[in-house]
Structure 1
Amino acid sequence: MCSYSDSTSDLDEELPVFDFLQAGRRRASQSRVEASAAKGDAAAGGTGAADVLMISSDSDDCAPYVPLAQRLEQRRRKAISPSSSSSSSSYAAAGNGEDGERCPPSNLPRPNGPSGSDWLLGLRQARTASRGASPVRRKPAGRGQQKDKEERERQKAERKALAEAAKALRPEECIKRMVVAVDPALLQLEGGGVLLSSVQALGCSCAVEKQSVPRSVSWMRRAAGAQPGGGGGGVPEAHVVMQVTVDDFVTLVQGYVQEEGRVPCGSGPSLTSWVQEHQRRHPGKVLSLAVIDLESYFRSQKSQSQKRFREAVAGEELGGEGKAKRRRKNGGEEARPEVSQVEVEEAVVHLQLHTGVSVRFLLTWKDFSAHIAMTTKAVAEAPFKREREQTGFSFHLESEWAGGQRVDRGGRGLLQAWRRQIQQFNRVSPDMASAILVAYPSPQLLRKAYSHCKSDREKISLLSDLVVRRGEGVTSTARRVGPELSKRLFLLMNSCDPQQTLDSTV
């Protein structure tokens, strides 16, 4: 047995003392200390038993020397190993130390230095790694985040709808959203097939529906989100083209002539009153008429008049018999009413003045189909053209005659800008502007010429004798600029009154 008192000084010099080992050391060796104290009392005869602590090493005196701290650690490992099946249970059984830290598991290597802080840090990192990284719990989105998400989605949907609406206004896209509604009565006529073919060639849809206006063609515009082949209605357009037969149109013109009192009054309506009745029944519609092959009526009327003239010259005075023959030739029907081309033109002008409805005279059904196709394009592109014209100015910004002229840093383009400035005057042709440019290529030269004049009268008539030439060769003509344009240019270049007009007297 080795006495504790003989090796106390050596142990104090070699081994450091750790605070976190004190609690474990007291619990692990408490029973052994009491047993050693009892044996020391028996061996020493009761003298100094309280001051001497004896610890057994379970080995013979010839065994190699093992430090006390290592022997205590080995005994502690043997005591903990049966209950170390789970790391969590052994760590909980170790209890807490005096400094509030949990006692670390004893199977990790201890540090050799005087301080155990680094070892404790490594112990905690190893324990975290053994447990595995805990999954990050995301907090559920609050009401504010949900509202922000809904607001972003709503703004995205609005931007998409605006982009779709802008795309639908393009000329190449708007025609695809048009639906041409054709009255079935038009398809029963000789040119119905040609009409359907021309409409389908445009790329738009065609619907055969009974129209409120007989023998008419109307238009509808589908919404931006609707499919071309899908069902459902659209937004009806105001334009309506009505086809009027030659017989009906001539009868209406004859009613106009009778209404004017040139012939005895009849019972039929006039062209103007007939159209006004349709406008009253269908308010909000922009009506236009189309008459096909009116020239054949005038040709037949001319041939009949020539025939009657020949019969009168030949001395055939059988008027009643001739009328009967004519009636039998026409199938027992009365002959068409006779109206002249001048009367037709007067009736059309009267119609436009009182109702605003125009009449289109066409030769064949192919021309009528082309007219419907052209009207379809115009109706389809009308919103795009209105949007383009909304510039915020009361004048046209870009056009061939009043557009701007680009001038670079080298001065190229100044002559054309001066020409366009002169052409802004009323009744000024390009030939007149060119004549002024030849004499005075810039506004500064014209101002110098005005400064050399001795009186205002001479300044006003400075440009009046400039020669304006038109054409080339034998057919060329010449005239003067004249005093009116000369006076206007003088006021433009010299007047200091912003309220003075160019047509005012000087």
Structure 2
Amino acid sequence: MGSYSDSTSDLDEALPVFDFLHRASQSRHGEPNADAAASAPKGPRATHVMTISSDSDDGEPYVPLAQRLQQRRDDAARGDAERRLPSNPVHAPERPPGLHQERSSDRGVSPGGAEETGLPCRRQPPADTSPVRRKPSTRTQEEVRASREEALRRRQAREGQQRDKEALRREQDRQKAERKALAEAAKALRPEECIKHMVVAVDPALLQLEGGGTLLAAVQALGCSCAVEKQAVPRSVSWMRRAPSAQPGDGGGVPEAHVVMQITVDDFITLVHGYVQEGRRGRCDATPTLTSWVQEQQRRHVGKLLSLAVIDLEKYFRAQKSQSQKRLRQAVAGEQRGAGKARKRKKSGGDEARPEVSRVDVEEAVVHLQLHTGVSVRFLSTWKDFSDHIAMTTRAVAEAPFKREREKTGFSFHLESEWAGGQRSDRDGKGLLQVWKRQIQQLNRVSPDMASAILAAYPSPQLLAQAYDLCGGDGERLSLLSDLVIRRGEGVTSTTRRVGPELSKRLFLLMSSREPQRALDATV
């Protein structure tokens, strides 16, 4: 294809005239250009192609620039497509849709598939995508039976695995619930939480007395629940402990063994008088004693820890004192006979006089009761004191399980309260001297003064061990600490004594023995 410079080689040749310039000039001046109309190409594509009119020496028609460029691009695309086609057209890969349409339009292929050149169009038959139908194989009865057994075995295995999973899940849920219950139970035993789970059961007979309202108010002020119900022991107060998961409104709970019974002054004096009569006469009559009456209550209510409370016993002793003074004045005035007649008239009137017992009789009866039954008697002045006693007992019963768990230290000996925390020592060595003193005081029958005497001579275990190494034999080691002086008190009242061979021997066995089960009091 020729270049643009070929058509314009002659300098004297007129410049080319573009069609759109003629149309623009015609539209501007309103008249057509004859030269442009004569040079415009004829044919169907004349309206779509802009031509350039020029005179050529060879007389060949001039090809417009746009048409030449389009033809050049089409030739290049056709060559690339032919180079990519394989040699065998049957197995040639499918062309892209755009390229296929372009080649069809270039070659004159009709939409129906026939080319304009008259060559037949070879199409590739569509692939068969239907599944291959195979003839089912005939199985024997043994194969069918084996297949069923295998399917049954697999189903049973799956069901077994499912059951195992369900059992494992239930076991995990149960263990989780147990751990949660134990955690809640441990939390419920704490001193700040235990009182909330207590239920105080009060006998209605106590509320009918003059101090019943005070008792009920004191119980409700603790923050625990209160239940008014008839008790097995009359005029008594008992306790129940609710489970941690139970609601405050639930009435159920685990009953506690402690029971506090309020006994009237008249009944108590009568029982004490029976004890006095039995002790003086040496035989038991129909009147029960304080000890026998409590033993009868214990036989009726097995497993209960009974305690008695007597309110305003001093009133009885004051009345008894006033009666004795009155009798003394009557005796001095010589009116003993008239007083006897007055007493007879009082008895005939139906009022029965109280038996007379002394304070010594009451103390003897109470001690006898504690020795034979283990039941204590609490003497209170007013109903306010009785209400405070019930509140204090409620707190003690609530905190009892927590204190029992805290006292389970694993030691076979008792630790005092100041020993529970131990002795603290710092990194710089401060406090080690007191630690060494505490270790010496752990021995039986070692007082702080004895430990201080040993500490003054040997301030550390290492110094004492070095002193044992310098001794000539076991006899000298056993008596190494015997002559140490122990000072008691200060000033003129101070006394001194020796450590002695017994403590010296025990401390030597503590420092040198390699047998963990050896008794320190044993002979060497």
- Shared fold, TM over 0.5: yes
1:107-160 CA distances to partner (integer Å, 9 max, x unpaired)? xxxxxxxxxxxxxxxxxxxxxxxxxxxxxxxxxxx9369726555544444443
Please report how far the alpha carbon of residue 100 of structure 1 lies from its aligned counterpart in structure 2 after TM superposition: 5.9
Residues 1:480 and 2:497 aligned together: yes
Q: Using the alignment, how far apart are the partners of 2:124 and 2:169 within structure 1?
A: 51
- Identity across the alignment (%): 68
Could you say if the C-alpha distance between residues 163 and 466 of structure 1 is closer, same or farther in structure 2, counting changes exceeding 3 Å? same
Q: Using the alignment, how far apart are the partners of 2:193 and 2:231 within structure 1?
A: 26
Could you say if the C-alpha distance between residues 73 and 309 of structure 1 is closer, same or farther in structure 2, counting changes exceeding 3 Å? farther
Contact (CA 8 Å) 1:397, 1:403: kept in 2 or not?
Answer: no
Aligned with 2:430: secondary structure? coil
Please report how far the alpha carbon of residue 67 of structure 1 lies from its aligned counterpart in structure 2 after TM superposition: 3.6
Contact (CA 8 Å) 2:104, 2:110: kept in 1 or not?
Answer: no
Letter matched to residue 367 of structure 1: D
Aligned with 2:327: secondary structure? helix
Contact (CA 8 Å) 1:175, 1:202: kept in 2 or not?
Answer: yes
Letter matched to residue 85 of structure 2: P
Residues 1:287 and 2:299 aligned together: no
1:70-113 CA distances to partner (integer Å, 9 max, x unpaired)? 879862699xxxxxxxxxxxxxxx998448699xxxxxxxxxxx
Contact (CA 8 Å) 1:327, 1:334: kept in 2 or not?
Answer: no
Letter matched to residue 200 of structure 1: Q
Q: Using the alignment, how far apart are the partners of 1:301 and 1:20 within structure 2?
A: 141
Q: Using the alignment, how far apart are the partners of 1:376 and 1:72 within structure 2?
A: 112
Please report how far the alpha carbon of residue 461 of structure 1 lies from its aligned counterpart in structure 2 after TM superposition: 8.1
Residues 1:16 and 2:78 aligned together: no
Contact (CA 8 Å) 2:481, 2:499: kept in 1 or not?
Answer: no
Q: Which moved more, 1:449-458 or 1:404-413?
A: 449-458
Q: Using the alignment, how far apart are the partners of 1:339 and 1:423 within structure 2?
A: 50
1:36-65 CA distances to partner (integer Å, 9 max, x unpaired)? xxxxxxxxxxxxxxxxxxxxxxxxxxxxx9
Structure whose alpha-carbon radius of gyration is higher = 2
1:254-293 CA distances to partner (integer Å, 9 max, x unpaired)? 1122222347854210111111111111112111111122
- What TM-score, normalized to structure 2? 0.64
User: Superposed, which structure 2 residues align to 1:47-126 within 5 Å?
Assistant: 67-68=103-104, 75=111, 97-98=126-127
Please report how far the alpha carbon of residue 231 of structure 1 lies from its aligned counterpart in structure 2 after TM superposition: 3.0
Structure 1 stretches lacking a partner, 5+ long: 1-8, 26-64, 79-93, 103-141
Aligned with 1:421: secondary structure? helix
Could you say if the C-alpha distance between residues 487 and 74 of structure 1 is closer, same or farther in structure 2, counting changes exceeding 3 Å? same
Contact (CA 8 Å) 1:464, 1:485: kept in 2 or not?
Answer: no
Cross-structure match for 2:222: 202
Residues 1:366 and 2:384 aligned together: yes
Contact (CA 8 Å) 2:202, 2:236: kept in 1 or not?
Answer: yes
Letter matched to residue 440 of structure 2: I
Contact (CA 8 Å) 1:23, 1:98: kept in 2 or not?
Answer: no
In angstroms, what is the RMSD of aligned CA positions? 4.3
Could you say if the C-alpha distance between residues 96 and 353 of structure 1 is closer, same or farther in structure 2, counting changes exceeding 3 Å? farther
Cross-structure match for 2:278: 259
Structure 2 stretches lacking a partner, 5+ long: 1-77, 95-100, 115-122, 132-160
Please report how far the alpha carbon of residue 338 of structure 1 lies from its aligned counterpart in structure 2 after TM superposition: 1.8
1:365-412 CA distances to partner (integer Å, 9 max, x unpaired)? 222111111111121122222333344443467841365334444333
Contact (CA 8 Å) 2:311, 2:383: kept in 1 or not?
Answer: yes
Q: Using the alignment, how far apart are the partners of 2:446 and 2:476 within structure 1?
A: 22
Aligned with 1:173: secondary structure? helix
Could you say if the C-alpha distance between residues 14 and 414 of structure 1 is closer, same or farther in structure 2, counting changes exceeding 3 Å? closer
Aligned with 1:400: secondary structure? helix
Q: Of 382, 397, 401, which aligns to 1:379?
A: 397
Q: Using the alignment, how far apart are the partners of 2:434 and 2:268 within structure 1?
A: 53
Please report how far the alpha carbon of residue 353 of structure 1 lies from its aligned counterpart in structure 2 after TM superposition: 2.1
Could you say if the C-alpha distance between residues 442 and 260 of structure 1 is closer, same or farther in structure 2, counting changes exceeding 3 Å? same
Letter matched to residue 315 of structure 2: S
Q: Using the alignment, how far apart are the partners of 2:306 and 2:186 within structure 1?
A: 29
Contact (CA 8 Å) 2:486, 2:499: kept in 1 or not?
Answer: no
Letter matched to residue 394 of structure 2: T
Q: Using the alignment, how far apart are the partners of 1:355 and 1:309 within structure 2?
A: 39
User: Superposed, which structure 2 residues align to 1:103-502 within 5 Å?
Assistant: 143=162, 147=166, 153-228=173-248, 230-262=249-281, 266-312=285-331, 314=332, 316=334, 318-319=336-337, 321-322=339-340, 324-325=342-343, 328=346, 333-395=351-413, 399-401=417-419, 404-446=422-464, 456=475, 460=479, 462-463=481-482, 466-470=485-489, 477-481=494-498, 483=500, 485-486=503-504, 488-489=506-507, 492-493=510-511, 501-502=519-520
